[in-house]
Amino acid sequence: MGLLQPNDEDFMRDAYREAEKAFEKDEIPVGAVIACNNQVIARAHNLTEQLKDVTAHAEMQAFTAASDYLGSKFLEECTLYVTLEPCPMCAGAAFWSRIGRLVYGAEDEKRGYTLYNENLLHPSTKVKSGVMANESKTLLQEFFRKKRK
């Protein structure tokens, strides 16, 4: 890659690797990273089953870790990459963090925040969707297929 800056696909690939870690732990495979100045400052994957904690979505852990790293609860200069469209809980947390950008992969047709109210996000947060959407959706489908067996 030489001196090339990483792009959205590169960061989403990092988030996807986190989703794969969740898959291996028998968790619904969703992964997230937060990048700031082209550097990943937080990575996390869904751990709701292992921690028995509904708040342990990948995004929530990533917000906490990124704020801890930066020493700031606000993340205006950061981008959240997440393999699945955030739910209202995670979109609500994104609002409070004032995150600069949200980039997500697959749409969540059951609990995606856009199904409830697009204004759940902060008005200053820019949104991009569909990055590596197929891969992320396939991983989720594979997980639920395995669970039904």
Q: Does 26 bind a copy of itself (CB under 8 A)?
A: no
Q: Does 67 bind a copy of itself (CB under 8 A)?
A: yes
Q: Does 49 bind a copy of itself (CB under 8 A)?
A: yes
Q: Is 59 tagged catalytic?
A: yes
Which three-class secondary structure string do you get for the chain? CCCCCCCHHHHHHHHHHHHHHHHHCCCCCCEEEEEECCEEEEEEECCCCCCCCCCCCHHHHHHHHHHHHHCCCCCCCEEEEEEECCCHHHHHHHHHHCCCEEEEEECCCCCCHHHCCHHHCCCCCEEEECCCHHHHHHHHHHHHHHHHC
Which among 25-33, 46-54, 125-133, 139-147 is the span making contact with a copy of itself, rule CB under 8 A?
A: 46-54
Among 78, 87, 103, 132, binds a copy of itself (CB under 8 A): 87
Q: Does 106 bind a copy of itself (CB under 8 A)?
A: no
Binding stretches for a copy of itself (CB under 8 A): 48-49, 52-55, 60, 63-64, 67-68, 71-73, 87-93, 95-97, 116-117, 119-120
